[in-house]
Structure 1
């Protein structure tokens, strides 16, 4: 083993499994060892272990003997684990005092876990001595002491005992005082040489594997939740350059020792199928079988691989035909326990497989990876800190981009860095561009058009809005772009695209017709265009109201010049998409874009839509920042029958008092959003009865319509309604009886409806709710009966209500992820709260008479964020430390008296990174690094009774208000772990 002192300090451990503490590894991956010697240093290091080491070293075999082999900078526990995992052969030397070292026992257990080749050497002990019996045995005293000390959990001790018992049956070598050590040494060395010849060589993964361990753990966690008894096919999906192949190689290296038949086929898309089939046969069966073509090869593979237990990786697959050729019957005839890993950019290739989606590196990982490639160390010099951050932002978490860009900068000066930064902001490095362009070139024409539209206009936009626009061109392939990992749809149903893909799309859009102009800078170039222009974005959200309901100051002097001064009117009538702002057009603008399908107009100051605007083909109408709008169009006008979405926001003035009577003629309308800002409102108190004829309506948003008194009696006729937002409709008191007919509702927001009273059976027929917001509903004292029947509910906000109790069976909401509770009448929380096993965020706010939290709080295994503010809570429940996934803890304005995470816990808070204490009665803080190994920040504010911070991890940053410590009467700072 790695030599360890026989005296083990209380806080010293070698592997994170001993106390459950995960340690971060160094990013630099060392050259792997051939042999790892697990031994008790004080027994054999200067004798047999040393002899084996020097004999093998003389033969050129790289041997790991003890921890002195490691660089001082290595994090010892994780570094030992990495070395043990990388070694081809493991030697375990069992001596009389072997079991007195928990390091030795933990290493042995780990060696078995990774299914390595282990050669046991019994040094003055017999194999039978390892077969543990409690009352007798060579190692009885050592284990008795472990049990008496209570430092290690019983499960851990049992695991060590089982490891000893299992290895005692392995074929090895015995040595006694009468043995010839020279003969023993020769036999051991000969066997090691033979074993090394037979061992499969691991793949080269990455020089700086930052974030790789996290990705492997994430992959295995998702995979372990499935039934893996039969042959398993797992897909790793992601855009080009995101690290799919790197992860696949690491998984292969960690698993191949458990398989007799393995193969890793690189770059499947680039190679001939029959050549790949031949390689697969050679790798798995060590056979070279001639055949004519891929069809014959498929038949041979089907027969030869039947019932075999195999590990196969197919890298960069882009066509299901490739899978059919390399995996006949999609692996169904392979032996039990087989594992097939497929990497691809195209999710459609994996329709019948489980898929793991690659995550982008987080900001810390991205910075570390970038710095290893740019500086060959994990952090930048102080002078480069700002530049590094700008490059990281530009790379947007894409590993390929981080590596390529950082490699370009290695050894360069600050001025050269600044020059490169300006260059890559305009043009992608060729290696990145080539990788991403492969995905674009593989798209069909409609898919390419959608890709370019997204890159130029629709990043951050709602998916439904874009679909309404593309419907006019009969393009319906957005989902294909999602499956090919070129586009993502986030939880808010907004379209997302990686910055590099966006930049690639915009670069292509400049080259091809019809042109797409996505920035105001391009407006001056419009006159030079002599081809069709598909869309113009002549206003940006950096200076006008944003469609996501964020607002920005309007700077009129930044608008481009009026259209008639720059646009080639010859192509104006072909325009499909238009985003403008302010007084962009004169009243007598000499053109009518008859094909316009999307109009977004910021700072709209007219009383009605201009006469030159053709409504015939309009699908989406958005008017932001209106102040003078009195009517949308004349009552006798032809309504825009193709309209799908209408969004209007008001910032000042008196906006129209009623909907046009022809509203019912908009048969295809799916979304209406009327939103007020700055206390302004739409001045209608009721919706017209005709409104209820909008049978296609799915989304209705009437935010801050403070004059709204009621909904039509026929409101339930809107049978397709899924999203209803009546936030801050302060005069709304009751809902019509027909409301129960809205059986497809998924999103319901009554926040700020102060006078609204809900009938107990209002949710009687509604079973598909995913989001329910009742914060600020002061008239609500009790939740509707059917609230706990909402099996799909994911978010429930009940802050600033008059609730006297929560349902005793609230734990039935098995999919609830976010819960906010706040009522000054709430005295207790039900124990069933602990049954909300999907809960990730819990906020308890303004519950002043609530003095304790349920004992079941610790059952919330997935909880990440816990906020307790303005309550009477004095202490955290006993089970609090079981919150293994907790990341942030905020306690504010509570009479909490102590925060003690000091002792070595049974359940460490492994993921807790930030603690925020504000206005509490806490007088002592004790936080052990063993309890909170990843804690980064402790924020303290207005905790006037704080007298002592007893223990704190040395890596924690304490954030204090200026002069805070000086205001405390007594203060003692203890030790840093």
Structure 2
């Protein structure tokens, strides 16, 4: 007998099919599959639908519902055992008197039957054992399905398939909601927007969608709007009663953790919340995994805590019902109106555990608070206030606070505040100092996070007893001058941010920060000396010193053996680099641009290459606009840079690049823009893919020729491969460049052979994507299609060949910069394939680039390809601010491509041409007509 499944089931069949695949009906073994997910997501419905679909494959089918509730008592468990026996044996006289007796009877009587067993809503392993033992009692081919909200129940069962039921997607949600609200697949037009808002509230839960749809069916538009406003504050009772079952089964400590997350910490970093709740004695490291297994919370790929919106609403509704009338009697206040009422009326009590007041309007809320407003809230653990200004100072804050998160606090902290239990102080943009209350010799064991960025009242960071501090953020504290010596020995400090502290002058003389990973001193304009590094400071990965006033780095910089990124850009007082900088063997990014006084002399090259020296992992080196850089001693040591891929020398005064650059085997990009003294470039490594030599006005023709020759080699272009059907239009009237006479096609292979060959070629050919910008006037002759103006066209077969394109910019410079957008139009389908932007004027330059074969072939495949495919490349110039298109100053463009264009002497429109068969001529005409979208008469007119 089939089980009842409600009407309008959307998305159930596909999910049931997925579970069926896990059961693997083809195998004659005993197989168990667990279905888990949050309450009301449709686990039972999926199990019933699957049962109905496959029960015919078994001797008997048994579906035991509500196992969790019934197994709470011995009587209920015995009833389940009797039901299992009676249905499987079709014997209504089965009479089990005790749980052990039932276990024995099930084992003895069911061992010879191939059964389909479903245990719905299971909460613990014991219930399974009382009904199925170790699941080894049953005949071959038996399949068992268990549904649960708690994944941990499934984990205890060993080898079984597990299926998590995901929420419905938008289209499924809309359909299910519509069936219940309108008795049709889609909502009525007048209610579509409201329907989408209710769907957002339901977040893909089938039960929520059904309840909401049924609630709204037959109501008018105004009633819908009223229900929506009410639902956003107080969820529908029917949904919450279902979801609340998961909560009721939690231990008290699990309930506390769940409610704290639901009310305050959804979307917060898991590690952070663990620290916060651990300080409250809640054992989050053991509780959070249990909540995850019960599908009440999740952790995303970024380590953030999350939960379904309806689950969160369920938790908040539980707190709300603790005291419906008296807000101050609730344990947690998160809704801003409730928090405002309690603070304005001064009705707080010691029951309040957490208070969050986040004013939703753009302008801050001004409040007059009693100075002792928080005195009644002695058990307050979490205080979060955003976008609220109080107009008089506070005289009291609870000493038991774990989290004080109050941005833009307008007055100093109370002198009576002694926060020994505080885990985080987060008060950016506030008018506070740290001498009081933190500078009073109090040992702050729990304090792990100080985030006081943009606090202009902080002039000194005092000596604090914070041995477990992990994050210190004083960024943009513009009046900070001194940081106390004690900070230099904080053993647990991982992140230290002083970016934008413009008046900072004094740091600890020495740093011994074993755990420090990130240190940011950008824009500390008055900082002239960097501290000495002591041995053992090996965790630092990122050191940012750009726009500081430092004149040099200490030789002890070599102790930062794990450093990966060093930024010294715009350090305009920096004179030299220490010898020991070569000991930074893990460095992958080195920024030294715009260091106008920096000199890199031969001294740095004296160290023999060995195990202690060399930038063995450096991939990115930026020396742009280092005006004193005239010779590249660094590049004479390629063994020091085995991984270098990006080298930028823009704006330097170098005269030549040494021959040794050819030994940089992984170099892909060379930037030499505005190197106006540069005369010679030797042969570059074969790995090179991008060279920007814009405004290298002294570069000799031999170097330019060498670069062009290498570009041709990289692209695999042979200079003798001249297209017989292409012609150079550089010397002709631009009006003639689009004539049809060079758009002929010749193909000798059937289309299906071409298509299969094209698929093979994608994996066979190397994907090459490169760009060269050179001070060259003329398009090289090996570009076998050339055109005056900003467009050019050719024909290809089903396989897109290797392709190179160039633009010649004329002598009329475009002032104020431009954006050049290149479009590829295949069979009329247009797509942007490259964007080139420049902030300065450009004239008499050549821009050459290629695209990877995979991209080109994909676009061809998406354009209804045939034997002959028309390709047009078009260049448009736009202003950098996105305004109107600019008048073109493109002199011409060129393409090198192994095309299918036929020799120019061939005129496929000539009806007397005996060299062409009729089928070819007809197909070619059709191709052209389709592309040009003109009639046969217009084509003939054009040819005349």
Q: Could you tell me how far 1:390 is from its partner in structure 2?
A: 1.1
How many angstroms apart in 2 are the aligned matches of 1:202 and 1:871? 70
1:210 aligns with 2:10: yes
Matches within 5 A, 1:566-645: 568-581=373-386, 584=389, 589-604=394-409, 611-625=415-429, 637-645=441-449
How many angstroms apart in 2 are the aligned matches of 1:334 and 1:248? 20
How many angstroms apart in 2 are the aligned matches of 1:405 and 1:867? 55
Matches within 5 A, 1:470-481: 470-476=277-283, 477-481=287-291
Q: Which of 281, 293, 297 is residue 487 of structure 1 equivalent to?
A: 297
Matches within 5 A, 1:310-325: 310-325=115-130
1:654 aligns with 2:654: no
How many angstroms apart in 2 are the aligned matches of 1:286 and 1:783? 82
- TM-score with structure 2 setting the length: 0.56
How many angstroms apart in 2 are the aligned matches of 1:371 and 1:894? 45
How many angstroms apart in 2 are the aligned matches of 1:452 and 1:783? 59
Pair 898,428 (structure 1): closer, same or farther in 2 beyond 3 Å = same
* CA shift digits 1:326-345 (9 cap, x unpaired): 2201x245455543221111
1:267 aligns with 2:267: no
Name the residue aligned to 1:525: 342
SS of 2:121's partner is: strand
SS of 1:448's partner is: helix
SS of 1:643's partner is: coil
Name the residue aligned to 2:269: 462
Pair 570,625 (structure 1): closer, same or farther in 2 beyond 3 Å = closer
How many angstroms apart in 2 are the aligned matches of 1:220 and 1:333? 22
How many angstroms apart in 1 are the aligned matches of 2:570 and 2:150? 49
SS of 1:341's partner is: strand
How many angstroms apart in 2 are the aligned matches of 1:641 and 1:710? 29
The 8 Å contact of residues 648 and 674 in structure 1, kept in 2 or not, is answered as no
SS of 1:236's partner is: strand
SS of 2:8's partner is: coil
Name the residue aligned to 1:534: 352
1:509 aligns with 2:319: yes
Name the residue aligned to 2:162: 355
How many angstroms apart in 1 are the aligned matches of 2:265 and 2:144? 37
Matches within 5 A, 1:912-923: none
Specify every segment of 5 or more residues in structure 2 that has no aligned partner in the other structure, as ranges: 71-75, 323-328, 455-474, 572-576, 589-616, 625-634, 651-660, 669-684, 691-710, 717-757, 774-793, 802-818, 837-850, 866-871, 877-881, 889-928, 935-944
Pair 568,599 (structure 1): closer, same or farther in 2 beyond 3 Å = closer
1:405 aligns with 2:212: yes
How many angstroms apart in 2 are the aligned matches of 1:828 and 1:435? 61
Q: Could you tell me how far 1:434 is from its partner in structure 2?
A: 0.7
Out of 332-341 and 396-405, give the one that drifted further.
332-341
Matches within 5 A, 1:212-231: 212-216=12-16, 231=30
SS of 1:350's partner is: helix
Q: Could you tell me how far 1:306 is from its partner in structure 2?
A: 4.1
1:428 aligns with 2:235: yes
Pair 656,373 (structure 1): closer, same or farther in 2 beyond 3 Å = same
How many angstroms apart in 2 are the aligned matches of 1:541 and 1:775? 47
The 8 Å contact of residues 621 and 647 in structure 1, kept in 2 or not, is answered as yes
Q: Could you tell me how far 1:297 is from its partner in structure 2?
A: 1.4
Q: Could you tell me how far 1:928 is from its partner in structure 2?
A: 7.4
Specify every segment of 5 or more residues in structure 1 that has no aligned partner in the other structure, as ranges: 1-200, 544-552, 743-747, 765-772, 788-796, 809-823, 830-847, 861-865, 881-891, 903-913, 932-941, 947-960
Matches within 5 A, 1:736-885: 761-762=585-586, 778=622
* CA shift digits 1:882-913 (9 cap, x unpaired): xxxxxxxxxx98867466999xxxxxxxxxxx
Matches within 5 A, 1:946-965: none
Pair 220,260 (structure 1): closer, same or farther in 2 beyond 3 Å = closer
Q: Which of 508, 513, 523 is residue 692 of structure 1 equivalent to?
A: 513
How many angstroms apart in 2 are the aligned matches of 1:655 and 1:825? 52
- TM-score with structure 1 setting the length: 0.54
How many angstroms apart in 2 are the aligned matches of 1:646 and 1:446? 28
Pair 963,653 (structure 1): closer, same or farther in 2 beyond 3 Å = closer
Q: Could you tell me how far 1:396 is from its partner in structure 2?
A: 1.7
Pair 292,408 (structure 1): closer, same or farther in 2 beyond 3 Å = same
Name the residue aligned to 1:129: none
Pair 868,622 (structure 1): closer, same or farther in 2 beyond 3 Å = farther
How many angstroms apart in 1 are the aligned matches of 2:568 and 2:51? 55
SS of 2:404's partner is: strand
How many angstroms apart in 2 are the aligned matches of 1:360 and 1:230? 31
* CA shift digits 1:218-244 (9 cap, x unpaired): 5567888x9988533322221111111
Q: Could you tell me how far 1:739 is from its partner in structure 2?
A: 5.0
Name the residue aligned to 1:151: none
SS of 1:621's partner is: strand
How many angstroms apart in 1 are the aligned matches of 2:476 and 2:214? 53
1:388 aligns with 2:201: no
SS of 1:263's partner is: strand
How many angstroms apart in 2 are the aligned matches of 1:221 and 1:754? 61
Name the residue aligned to 2:812: none
The 8 Å contact of residues 366 and 392 in structure 1, kept in 2 or not, is answered as yes
Pair 343,737 (structure 1): closer, same or farther in 2 beyond 3 Å = farther
The 8 Å contact of residues 36 and 149 in structure 2, kept in 1 or not, is answered as yes
SS of 2:292's partner is: helix
The 8 Å contact of residues 824 and 833 in structure 2, kept in 1 or not, is answered as no
SS of 2:97's partner is: coil
Name the residue aligned to 1:242: 41
The 8 Å contact of residues 693 and 718 in structure 1, kept in 2 or not, is answered as yes
Q: Could you tell me how far 1:682 is from its partner in structure 2?
A: 9.1
SS of 1:391's partner is: helix
How many angstroms apart in 2 are the aligned matches of 1:307 and 1:673? 69
Q: Could you tell me how far 1:595 is from its partner in structure 2?
A: 0.9
How many angstroms apart in 1 are the aligned matches of 2:568 and 2:20? 44
How many angstroms apart in 2 are the aligned matches of 1:395 and 1:615? 41
How many angstroms apart in 2 are the aligned matches of 1:929 and 1:248? 45
* CA shift digits 1:80-109 (9 cap, x unpaired): xxxxxxxxxxxxxxxxxxxxxxxxxxxxxx
Pair 825,247 (structure 1): closer, same or farther in 2 beyond 3 Å = farther
* CA shift digits 1:432-459 (9 cap, x unpaired): 0110121222222222222221122111
The 8 Å contact of residues 117 and 145 in structure 2, kept in 1 or not, is answered as yes
How many angstroms apart in 2 are the aligned matches of 1:627 and 1:691? 31
**Number of residue pairs aligned between Structure 1 and Structure 2:** 639
The 8 Å contact of residues 373 and 406 in structure 1, kept in 2 or not, is answered as yes
SS of 2:451's partner is: strand
How many angstroms apart in 2 are the aligned matches of 1:673 and 1:710? 14
SS of 1:600's partner is: strand
SS of 1:534's partner is: coil
Q: Which of 68, 74, 98 is residue 293 of structure 1 equivalent to?
A: 98
Pair 929,586 (structure 1): closer, same or farther in 2 beyond 3 Å = same
SS of 1:405's partner is: helix
Q: Could you tell me how far 1:670 is from its partner in structure 2?
A: 6.9
The 8 Å contact of residues 403 and 424 in structure 2, kept in 1 or not, is answered as yes
Q: Could you tell me how far 1:751 is from its partner in structure 2?
A: 9.6
The 8 Å contact of residues 900 and 927 in structure 1, kept in 2 or not, is answered as no
